[in-house]
Chain A
Amino acid sequence: MKRMLVLLAAAIVIPVSAYAADSVPTLEGYHASKGMKVPGGATPKTADCLMCHGGSYAALAKTTEKVKPNPHFNHFGDRNCDTCHRWKEEPVLSCDECHKFTTLKMPLAVKKN
Chain B
Amino acid sequence: MPRSPKNPNKEIRMISRRNWLKTGAAAGVASIAASATSTASAASGAADTYDVVILGAGTGGLVTAIESFDLGLKPVVLEKMDWAAGNSLYASGGVAAWGTEQQEREGHPESREAFEADMMKVSEYRADPELVKTYCDNIREGVKWLVGPMGVKFAKIRRKPWPLNYRMLNVDGQGLTGGGRLVRDLLAQCEKRGIPVLFNTKAVELVQDDSCRVAGVKCETEKGFKNFMANDGVVIATGGFSANREMLNRYMGGPLSRLALRGSPFVTGENIKLSEKVGAQLVHMDQFHCGPIVEATHTNPNFVIDAGQGIDVNPKGERFMDEAFTYTQKSMAAATQTPNNYAYHVIDEHWATSSKAAKRFLGMNSPVYIADTIEELAQKMGADPKTLKATVDEYNKAYSEGRLKELTPPSSLANPQPLNKPPFYAFPFQGGITATFGGPKINTKAQVMSTERRPIRGLYAVGNAAGGLFYGNYIGGSQLGGAVVFGRIAAADMASKHKKA
Residues of A within 8 A of B (CB): 43, 45-47, 56-57, 70, 73-80, 83, 98-102
Contacts and interface: CB of A to CB of B under 8 A. Distances in A.
B177 A75 contact: yes
Interface in B77-100: 82-85, 89-90
Contacts of A57: 20
A74 B297 CA distance: 16
Nearest to A97: B265
A39 B14 CA distance: 13
Contact of A100 (B175, B180, B366): B366
B176 A98 contact: no
A78 to B, nearest CB: 5
A101 B175 contact: no
Contact of A99 (B20, B89, B173, B298): B298
A37 to B, nearest CB: 18
User: How many B residues touch the partner, as a band?
Assistant: 20 to 34
A106 B98 CA distance: 46
Pick the 3 closest A-B CB pairs, nearest first.
A75-B180, A98-B298, A75-B177
Contacts of A100: 296-297, 364-366
Contacts of A101: 364-365
A92 B188 CA distance: 27
A110 B236 CA distance: 42
Nearest to B82: A80
Find the residue from A43, A74, A76, A80 having the highest chain B CB count within 10 A: A76
A56 B177 CA distance: 22
B497 interface: no
A24 B1 CA distance: 23
B84 A77 contact: yes
B184 interface: yes
Given A47-B16, A77-B84, 13 more contacts: A75-B89, A75-B181, A76-B85, A76-B180, A77-B187, A79-B83, A80-B18, A80-B20, A83-B83, A99-B365, A100-B364, A100-B365, A102-B365
A46 B298 contact: no
Main secondary structure on B side of the interface with A: loop
Contacts of B183: 77
A99 B17 contact: no
A78 B297 contact: no
A101 to B, nearest CB: 6
Given A79-B83, A80-B83, A101-B364, A73 B175 contact: yes
Main secondary structure on A side of the interface with B: loop
Contacts of A76: 83, 85, 89, 180
A78 B181 CA distance: 12
Contacts of B298: 98-99
B86 to A, nearest CB: 11
Nearest to B296: A100
B179 A75 contact: yes
A43 B177 contact: no
A52 to B, nearest CB: 15
Interface string B145-178: 0000000000000000000000000000101110
Contact of A46 (B1, B20, B85, B179): B20
Contacts of B177: 75
B166 to A, nearest CB: 25
A45 B187 CA distance: 20
A98 B85 CA distance: 14
Interface in B326-352: none
Contacts of A43: 1
Contacts of B296: 100
Contacts of B18: 45, 80
Contacts of A47: 13, 16-17
Nearest to B84: A77
Interface in B414-459: none
A44 B181 CA distance: 28
A43 B14 CA distance: 12
Nearest to B261: A98
Contacts of A45: 14, 17-18
A55 to B, nearest CB: 11
A78 B90 CA distance: 15
Nearest to A40: B17
Given A99-B364, A102-B365, A78 B20 contact: yes
A84 to B, nearest CB: 12
7 contacts: A75-B89, A75-B176, A76-B85, A76-B180, A79-B82, A79-B83, A102-B365
A74 B14 contact: no
Contacts of B13: 47
